[in-house]
Structure 1
Amino acid sequence: MAPASLRSLFESAGRFLTQIPFPLLNTSPRPISDVGPVYYEPLSGAPSCPLDGPISCHNSTPVAGDDSCCFVYPGGRILLTQFWDQKVHAGGAEEDWTLHGLWPDLCDGTYDQFCHMTPRFNNITAVLEHHGQHELLQFMNRFWLASSGPNSRLWEHEFNKHATCINTLAPACYGDVLYSPGIEVVDYFTRASALFRTLDTYYALEKAGIVPHSRRHYPLVDIQTALEAYSGGRVVLRCGGRGNILHEAWYVYFVRGSLQTGEFVPAKDLGREGKAGNCAPWVKYLPKRSTGGGGDL
């Protein structure tokens, strides 16, 4: 029997990745903007933030003191990045787009990396197992995949490069009593995986009549329009080859509140981030080959 696609996972009633209550997920074919805020109840003592707090990159005055743990800064433009890999993964399906990362870009479209706002970890699998996140690990081993070497190598790279630049994951935001090393790892990977589950890129394109084909070229504007209508926000597209092979989709968000418990707000404009797209006006969306690897670092 062929492995279930991401869409079939959306349609499975009552399934959650962990024992933690997950955010409201997009379990029907409609834009995320119609589904509502993507919330998450963390394991830890992450801050409880006001529902009417400022949205990242939209606040004209500094946020200080305890309130800084309810405002993602300076990397307030959040990118959920997906890859269309060349090969079907072991245990995967031909319809699978894979999760690459959750990146906190600065509000001007640039980004920091390998910061010191949260500790670095080189044992992501062990940390998630320690906190009982076995179903989350199972999901990540299906959809968050490295092109070579163990998946944990990619997870460590993504956390240490990107999550360490997210200020609300700092130990101080959890409090001395409730903080336990690795809680920020659980929160980062849980939120990224849950947001990914709301974004079925294959289905959004299929719904618009855009399906993998070895010879057909599609207008880039049609792909962009389909994904932005589905997600409710802006999407950056990246291509391989000579800019004519669709390879990546970056969904752009801001956050109201902390990354741990806040609402992901679809971005209505790209700003400088729009320049990251590199695709030609017409692109191929190639079928996957039958076996092989995962996303690049």
Structure 2
Amino acid sequence: MPFYTPKSLLAIAVADLLAGATAGLIGCSTTDEVLSCHNTTEVTDMCCFNYPGGALLQVQFWDTDPATGPTDSWTIHGLWPDYCDGDYGEDCDTSREVSDVQTILEDQGRTDLLEYMEEYWLSDDESDNEFWAHEWNTHGTCINTIDPDCYTDYTDNEEVGDFFQEVVDLFKTLDTYTALSDAGITPSNDATYTLAEFQSALGDIHGGYEVTLLCDDDTVYELYYYFNVYGSAVNGTYEPTSPLEDSSCPTSGIKYPPKDSSSKKTKRAGRSQRGRKNQKA
């Protein structure tokens, strides 16, 4: 996975812009774009301004019991639009809920995307297809800049495929495992690490900003990268920003266990809809 730099962000934004134009998304003028969560006056073009979910979280899992995904990579949880104050909405448009993401992506010819998701976007409880549908229904429908009204010559579920492509593209720029490994933070049954060590390593791929790191007691299992966005969520420019939620890990003694290959679940095995404890899936 590539190292996360402003230059790579620009390249991704340009590529996504071209992809969005092909997909039929209404184009956004860069001269008129406003960074989400940063407007000082009313914004009228809501297809080019993420609101009210102006903070977008790229969420990743480190699953060890059972282990899911490659032993040398974190896996995808989703892309969540949160309000700029840390609150959030869910299930924002029940009329656009889906139950079979796999078939939607196959019908759109996104077989490469689907194959990648089958390796890096896995469930540890329900089927992967159910997990993907949950992420779209709960979070994707809350991203206002990919509403069907933001498309020209819209076709059914067009925005669903665009959503999953964007989540995967963003995930590829945030190689958590390598960033930690480069800083000497590697999975271990014996070693422990400090929260500051994690934040320093991950800040190197997140514009110097901290992330929200979640622990079950003292064992890390999930993290959130926060962004604000210029333009649409699927062809705009993602700018790293500070977290809106505190980490739940201790300041020291954090365990980062290896994925046990003997307990690794097979492809399409299942993922529970867990997320923020007592908050959001």
Give matches, 1:221-260, under 5 Å.
221-232=196-207, 233-240=209-216, 242=217, 244-260=218-234
Structure 1 unmatched runs, 5+: 1-9, 11-25
Please tell me the residue identity of whatever aligns with 1:192: V
Matching residue of 1:138:
115
Tell me which of 263, 274, 288 is aligned to 2:245: 274
Please tell me the residue identity of whatever aligns with 2:24: G
Pair 1:286 & 2:257 matched: yes
Tell me which of 98, 101, 106 is aligned to 2:78: 101
Matching residue of 2:29:
50
Matching residue of 2:60:
82
Alignment partners' CA distance in 1, 2:226 and 2:94: 22
Pair 1:33 & 2:6 matched: yes
Return the offset for 1:234: 3.2
Alignment partners' CA distance in 2, 1:46 and 1:117: 22
Task: Indicate how the Cα distance of structure 1 residues 196 and 118 shifts in structure 2: closer, same or farther if over 3 A, else same.
Answer: farther
Please tell me the residue identity of whatever aligns with 1:104: P
Return the offset for 1:117: 8.6
Question: What secondary structure sits across from 1:184 in the alignment?
Answer: helix
Q: Check conservation: 2:126, 2:271, Cα contact below 8 A.
A: no
Give matches, 1:71-220, under 5 Å.
71-86=49-64, 87-89=66-68, 92-116=69-93, 119-175=96-152, 178-220=153-195
Alignment partners' CA distance in 1, 2:36 and 2:145: 12
Q: Check conservation: 1:224, 1:235, Cα contact below 8 A.
A: yes
Alignment partners' CA distance in 2, 1:190 and 1:258: 14
**Cα root mean square deviation, aligned:** 1.6
Alignment partners' CA distance in 2, 1:264 and 1:59: 16
Task: Indicate how the Cα distance of structure 1 residues 204 and 263 shifts in structure 2: closer, same or farther if over 3 A, else same.
Answer: same
Matching residue of 1:13:
none
Alignment partners' CA distance in 1, 2:237 and 2:131: 26
Alignment partners' CA distance in 2, 1:296 and 1:188: 21
Q: Check conservation: 1:84, 1:248, Cα contact below 8 A.
A: yes
Question: What secondary structure sits across from 2:23 in the alignment?
Answer: coil
Alignment partners' CA distance in 2, 1:114 and 1:108: 19
Return the offset for 1:119: 1.5
Matching residue of 1:15:
none
Alignment partners' CA distance in 1, 2:86 and 2:173: 24
Alignment partners' CA distance in 2, 1:295 and 1:200: 21
TM-score of the two chains, using structure 1 as the length reference:
0.83
Return the offset for 1:186: 0.8
Return the offset for 1:295: 4.9
Question: What secondary structure sits across from 1:157 in the alignment?
Answer: helix
**1:189-232 CA distance string (max 9 Å, x none):** 00000000001101000111110110211011110111012221
Question: What secondary structure sits across from 2:46 in the alignment?
Answer: helix
Task: Indicate how the Cα distance of structure 1 residues 223 and 118 shifts in structure 2: closer, same or farther if over 3 A, else same.
Answer: farther
Question: What secondary structure sits across from 1:164 in the alignment?
Answer: helix
Alignment partners' CA distance in 2, 1:32 and 1:249: 19
**1:165-208 CA distance string (max 9 Å, x none):** 11111111113xx1001110111000000000001101000111
Please tell me the residue identity of whatever aligns with 1:191: E
Return the offset for 1:118: 7.2
Question: What secondary structure sits across from 1:78 in the alignment?
Answer: strand
Structure 2 unmatched runs, 5+: 274-281
Share of identical aligned residues, percent? 38
Q: Check conservation: 2:70, 2:120, Cα contact below 8 A.
A: no
